[in-house]
Amino acid sequence: MRTKTIDAAIVGTIVAVCAATALTQRSRDVAGSPIDSGHIRYSSLSQINAGNVNALKPVWVYDTGVKGRGWEGNPFVVDGVMYLSIPGGASALDPETGKELWRFVPQGLSRPGRDRGVAYWPGDGALSARILYATADRLYALDAKTGLPIPAFGKDGMVNLRDEVADKYPDALYTISSPAAIYKNLAIISPSTQEFGSKGPSGDPRAFDVRTGKQVWRFHTVPQPGEPLDGSWGPG
């Protein structure tokens, strides 16, 4: 698959702004992704097409202020607010003007990751909407209106994804680059880990409660004792 990276200092939003109206309505119905619930990166939007794409002109430009790092995230619009990841953080914009409404920059990351977007949870009536931001080895829950961490989520708004998984391998690769997949009240993540060596942290997919940050389930990619097919794997 061919991929392209643009300089993170300037993010052009020609497509995002032109499609804001249609995207806003669709995003209300698809939690976590403005494209599709299956995350296959297909959009049914038709306002911009092969017949008019050459006539598009920039409406505004958002300067992230971050130099020298690639940007790979897809912004999306929910209820009149554009959400996106930026190198080393997440932000919310006014899609009509490009004005930054809030910016969240986590502190103390030992190995900043390459972020490819954020996820949206619409709330459950009792709790308001949240932005789930996964980066490096952490998962944050942010207030969708203010960008502030949710104190009741994990520890002061953050879950350390290395806990109970990579504790024994502090220097090994364990990072999240893709946004969490949202299903009901679950944020599902799958990490990138080292691709060589017989010892290291597990890359098991895990699900966390978006309200509390507690782990709900973990799928062992290598079956553990007592699980189906546990005898099919020999020592690594």
pLDDT in tens, 189-225: 998 887 666 788 888 999 999 999 999 999 988 888 8
Q: Whole domain around residue 158: which residue ranges?
A: 6-232
| Under 8 Å between Cβ of 93 and 99 | yes
CATH number reported for the structural domain that contains residue 37 in this entry: 2.140.10.10
**Mean pLDDT over each residue of the chain, to the nearest integer:** 82
Residue 221, domain member (yes or no): yes
Instruction: With a cut of 80, say whether residue 128 has pLDDT above it.
Output: yes
Q: Quick one: pLDDT at residue 6? A: 42
pLDDT-derived band at 173, boundaries 50, 70, 90: confident
Mean pLDDT of 139-163: 96
Split into its structural domains, the chain has a count of: 1
Residue 179, domain member (yes or no): yes
Residue 1, domain member (yes or no): no
pLDDT-derived band at 3, boundaries 50, 70, 90: very low
| Under 8 Å between Cβ of 217 and 224 | no
Q: Quick one: pLDDT at residue 9? A: 47
Instruction: With a cut of 90, say whether residue 99 has pLDDT above it.
Output: yes
Q: Quick one: pLDDT at residue 147? A: 98
**Strands, DSSP E only, in the chain?**
6-7, 10-12, 61-63, 70-71, 76-78, 81-86, 89-93, 100-104, 119-121, 130-135, 138-143, 158-160, 174-175, 181-183, 186-189, 192-193, 206-209, 215-218
- From 6, 11, 7, select the one nearest 61 (Cα to Cα): 11
Residue 142, domain member (yes or no): yes
Residue 210, domain member (yes or no): yes
Which of 2-11, 183-192, 212-221 is predicted least confidently?
Answer: 2-11
Mean pLDDT of 97-102: 97
Instruction: With a cut of 50, say whether residue 160 has pLDDT above it.
Output: yes
Instruction: With a cut of 80, say whether residue 23 has pLDDT above it.
Output: no
User: For residues 170 and 148, which has the higher predicted lDDT (pLDDT)?
Assistant: 148
**For a pLDDT cut of 70, what percent of the chain falls above it?**
77
Q: Quick one: pLDDT at residue 120? A: 95
Instruction: With a cut of 60, say whether residue 145 has pLDDT above it.
Output: yes
Q: Quick one: pLDDT at residue 37? A: 60
State pLDDT tens for residues 40-75.
667 777 888 999 999 999 999 999 888 766 677 788
Map residue 69 onto helix, strand or coil: coil
Instruction: With a cut of 90, say whether residue 186 has pLDDT above it.
Output: yes
Residue 92 corresponds to which tokens in the numbers above?
A: 């919310």
